[in-house]
Structure 1
Amino acid sequence: MTESLLAAARRAPRETWVVVGAVSASQYLNHAYLVLFPPILAVLSGEFTVGLAALGVALGVQGATNTAFQLPFGRLADRYDRTIALGLSSVLGAVGVLAAAAAPTYEWLLVAQAVIGIGVAGHHPAHYPLISDSTPEDLMGRAYSLYGFGGSVGFATPPVLIAGVVSAGYSWRLGVGLIGAVGLAYALGVTWLFAARVDDAVTAPNVPDDGDADDAGPTGSRSRGSWIARARAYLRELAAAPGVLALALLALVSSTSSWGFTSYVVVFLQDGYGLSLSRANLALTGSYLVGALAVFVGGDLSDRISAGPVMIASFAIVGVLVGVFALGTVGPLAAVGLVLLVGGARSIAGPARSKLTDALSPSGATGTSFAITTIGVMLGNAVAPPAFGYLIETAGRRAAFLGVAGVSLLAVVLTVWLIARFGDA
């Protein structure tokens, strides 16, 4: 597999790796923004005097605004300009993180999370078309692997950085603020790079705006006609992509499982297995680092075999591993090992899902198609934290994590149905 990756890098056009590298770095920050607070839920609970369920709502708010802005950003990337979509979302995400670092109250934190969600929403609709239009078909799985690697390392950063800052006696705000400052600097740099150095054939939309709304008459009615035309255009694009809608449903289910695990695994390791905060966060970081390597395996397998079997195996293994973890029948060291294995197993599915989304996307709607599947992912992010936080407070940790395992096994069933109905990439 290593030889094939090196060979792929040698034969890829230079612009492919410029685009894939820059977008992967953007994905690193994007994913870091998503997991700022799960490593320090106990700290936040004490500072803002709220419970896990309320903090789950704060995590869910980010997922909700992320979901709401997926299609608008997808439309922007597909019909207007991908550089604007990437730059705008990158700046908004960084500003939201800086606002979270300064949050004096729980309510302020909710607003900051909402802004982060809007910023994060634009990444996938811009990233995936940029990769798709700059990468040869036979290298697509490997390009998505590098992209997934950036995201996995991004997930791994906050547990180490923010928990390390807290363990050293400093405020969590310092760690969050540092991530926001780096994110803002990168947002400005990557916007310049794509505006000045990347070919317009990559950054321009697939399909020019059709101007549906231009016939709406006077200014007021034209504005109303524009919104109606856009709504109709969204519905047409959705109806033309039943396979993408099915993938969005699968993404919702698998994401609910993944975010349920990520949001509360540190809490479970602390309260259920007796680990300290720093060691529990090291386990979470380790799971993402294992996932960062496993994503290359997923990309290679997706290119060599096909997407469906890779996804089925990934979801099934995650379900079994989380089930064993939930039962609490192993010791603390073995529990950490299970967390690492979950990180690797769930990452294998990422490139396969991306490749399948690309294959099922209607012509000229790649950004919107990835926005639709990301809506599924982000709905899972919106639903899982409050739902499983409530379960932990009412039914206990074991019941909540057995629920996480069950949802992952449901994703296996959905994947089998999806491949049988729509085919494999």
Structure 2
Amino acid sequence: MDQLTATPIPDTTHGNRRRTLATTGVNHALHDGYTDLIYVLLPIWQNEFALGYGALALMRALYAGAMAGLQIPAGRLAERIDGKIVLVIGTVLSALGYGLAGLSGSAIGLCLALLLSGAGSSTQHPLASAAVSRAYGAAAKGPLGIYNFTGDLGKAAIPALLSLLLIIMPWRHALLVLALAGTAVAIYIAAAMPPIGKTRAGRPVAAASSTGTTNSGFTLLFTIGILDTAVRMGLLTFLPFLLQAKGASLPTSGLALTLVFIGGAAGKFVCGWLGERVGTLRTILLTEGGTAACILAVLVLPLAGTMMLLPLLGVMLNGTSSVLYGTVPELAPGRTERAFALFYTGTIGSGAIAPILYGVLGDALGPTAATMATAITAMAICPLAFILAPHLTRARV
């Protein structure tokens, strides 16, 4: 990969930093909310279009695949065009996709609309993360944690909003309303967000290329991100079954997942700040060690004790992600868009594949053994964090 150098952006005032964080946060909430809207819509589409579960899974995969697969091209496009413009266009396309879904009269039309919406959402993670990173520079870990947290707010708020809209109008009209909301967000970004700038191919940075530190350090961070996502998705796959074995009813299982998600949102917010103050290594060791301990506790505690533990489990499960995202710019100086695009592609791909792998293990050994495997995976991250530490700025280890 060619080393990139950022086009200078002179305006880095406190007000513009806050505007960058605010606009990217709103955009993150919108796109993550759009991503999870599908779970509300799948039963409706199944009834209206007489679809099987395989077809429904394909629809979800089309959106996720377009979003994951086009992140790297989106990062490359930002080398030629101001990233803000790409971000606005992506948000418009994502909103347009849901608008077309509301107008579609067939399953094929829905699939094409979801492809378009997923393609639009591919711009959001790499470019918005890079924008926050550039705005805050060396102090970006905490703001990136806040940015990460806003995605969880969108996952909670926008599907809930759709559920309310479905009470008073047909699903097609509800999607048009949400498409208009997405268009309004795109206009807000265009009007309020400071320019991100663009990157261009340049001469290799000697300090990074001569030692190989940046490349090997980023590879380690990338590996940790993939494993961390695998732990989270693997555990969430088995958690309802573990609770059911403890005597939990369906509503109790739903409450349990809500407690995990609330803790996860708090973990994303807090651990970005924590990584900035106590360092990447200590934060990873705390969250991954805590994750493994909480998973093992879930296996042995009775239902009441497990329910009390779940918010803390959520904090540990999701907390690592914020400090990892905050470390990407440090290990990829001058090529932030590409690095974030690659990092998010890997973690999203891990989130899709890991439940399948742990599911196969669960079929072979049972859910308890598969859940223990997620704890072992979490602990395996700790030695990788020690190997990563020499690649980090000493003050932030």
TM-score band, normalised by the shorter chain? 0.7 to 0.9
- 1:310 aligned residue: 283
Q: Structure 1, residues 189-225: CA drift from partner, whole Å, max 9, x if none?
A: 213333xxx2xxx422143x67x9xxxxxxxxxxxxx
Task: Percent identity, please.
Answer: 21
How far apart, CA to CA, are the structure 2 residues paired with 1:266 and 1:177?
34
Task: Kindly indicate whether the alpha-carbon contact (under 8 Å) linking 1:260 and 1:404 is maintained by their aligned counterparts in 2.
Answer: yes
Residues 1:346 and 2:317 are matched in the alignment: yes
**Which residue of the other structure, out of 315, 319, 326, is the alignment partner of 1:355?**
326
Which residue does the alignment assign to 1:73? 74
With normalisation by structure 1, the TM-score equals: 0.72
Cross-structure match for 2:181: 182
What is the aligned partner in structure 2 of residue 82 from structure 1? 83
- Please tell me the residue identity of whatever aligns with 1:191: A
| CA deviation map 1:313-365 (0-9, x unaligned) | 2123223333444x47532x544444422322233223311221111113x21
Paired with 2:361 and 2:106, the residues of 1 have a C-alpha distance of 25
Equivalent residue of 1:203, what SS?
coil
Q: Tell me the distance in 1 between the aligned counterparts of 2:305 and 2:164.
A: 23
Q: What letter is aligned with 2:136?
A: T
Task: Label 1:376 to 1:191 Cα distance change in 2 as closer, same or farther (>3 A).
Answer: same
Give me the whole-angstrom Cα distance separating, in 2, the residues matched to 1:296 and 1:24.
12
Change (3 A) 1:307 1:57: farther
Q: Per the alignment, do residues 177 and 70 of structure 1 end up closer, same or farther by CA in structure 2, a change over 3 Å counting?
A: same
Give the Cα separation in 2 of the matches to 1:270 and 1:94.
Answer: 38
Paired with 1:72 and 1:313, the residues of 2 have a C-alpha distance of: 35
Residue 256 (structure 1) aligned with residue 230 (structure 2): yes
- 1:294 to 1:178, Cα distance in 2 relative to 1, 3 A: farther
Corresponding residue of 1:24: 25
Q: 1:420 to 1:102 in 2, by over 3 A?
A: farther
Contact 1:318 1:408 in 2 (8 A): yes
Partner of 1:192: 191
CA deviation after TM superposition for structure 1 residue 146, in Å: 2.0
- Residue equivalent to 2:154: 154
Kindly indicate whether the alpha-carbon contact (under 8 Å) linking 1:78 and 1:205 is maintained by their aligned counterparts in 2.
Answer: yes
- 1:408 maps to 378
| Partner residue, 1:290 | 263
Structure 1 residues 329 and 20, CA gap change in structure 2 (3 angstroms): same
Q: Which residue of 1 aligns with 2:221?
A: 247
When the two structures are superposed, what TM-score results if normalisation uses the length of structure 2? 0.76
Secondary structure at 1:36's aligned position in 2? helix
Cα distance change, pair 306–366 in 1 and its aligned pair in 2 (3 A): same
Deviation string 1:224-266 (CA, Å, 9 cap, x unpaired) is xxxxxxxxxxxxxx99733223322222221222234456756
> Is the 8 Å Cα contact of residues 228 and 321 (structure 2) preserved in structure 1?
no
Q: Aligned runs of 1:64-213 on 2, under 5 Å?
A: 64-98=65-99, 111-135=112-136, 137-138=138-139, 140-157=140-157, 160-161=160-161, 179-194=178-193, 198=194, 202-207=195-200
Give the counterpart letter for 1:152 in structure 2. D
Q: Which runs of 5+ in 2 are unaligned?
A: 1-12, 204-211
Amino acid at match of 1:330: P
Instruction: From the superposition, tell whether residues 397 and 243 of structure 1 become closer, same or farther in structure 2 (CA, over 3 Å).
Output: same
Unpaired runs of 5+ residues, structure 1, are 1-11, 213-237
Among 322, 338, 342, the alignment partner of 1:368 is 338
Aligned-partner Cα distance in 2 for 1:180–1:99? 9
The 1:282–1:206 alpha-carbon spacing in structure 2 relative to 1, beyond 3 Å, is: same
Work out the CA distance in 2 between the residues paired with 1:129 and 1:355.
10
Corresponding residue for 1:7?
none
- Which residue type is aligned with residue 257 of structure 1? V
Shift of 1:73: 1.0
Distance of aligned partners of 1:56 and 1:69 in 2 relative to their CA distance in 1, 3 Å threshold:
same
Distance 1:26 1:415, change over 3 A: same
Q: Is the CA contact 2:145–2:323 (under 8 Å) kept in the aligned structure 1?
A: no
2:226/2:346 contact within 8 Å kept? yes
Bigger Cα displacement from structure 2, 96-105 vs 413-422: 96-105
Q: Is this contact kept in 1: 2:230–2:351, CA < 8 A?
A: yes
User: Judging changes above 3 Å, is the alpha-carbon distance between structure 1 residues 72 and 398 closer, same or farther for their aligned structure 2 residues?
Assistant: same
CA contact under 8 A between 1:159 and 1:281: conserved in structure 2?
Answer: no
Q: What corresponds to 2:8 in structure 1?
A: none
Matched residue SS, 1:78: coil
1:34 alignment partner AA: T
Aligned-pair CA distance for 1:110: 5.0
CA distance in 2 between partners of 1:261 and 1:160 (Å): 24
SS of corresponding position for 2:302: coil
Measured on the aligned residues, the alpha-carbon RMSD in Å equals 4.0
SS of alignment partner, residue 204 of structure 1:
coil
Please give the alpha-carbon distance, in whole angstroms, between the structure 1 residues aligned to 2:295 and 2:173. Answer: 33
Per-residue deviation, 1:142: 2.5
2:388 pairs with 1:418: yes
Q: In 2, distance between residues paired with 1:106 and 1:352?
A: 40
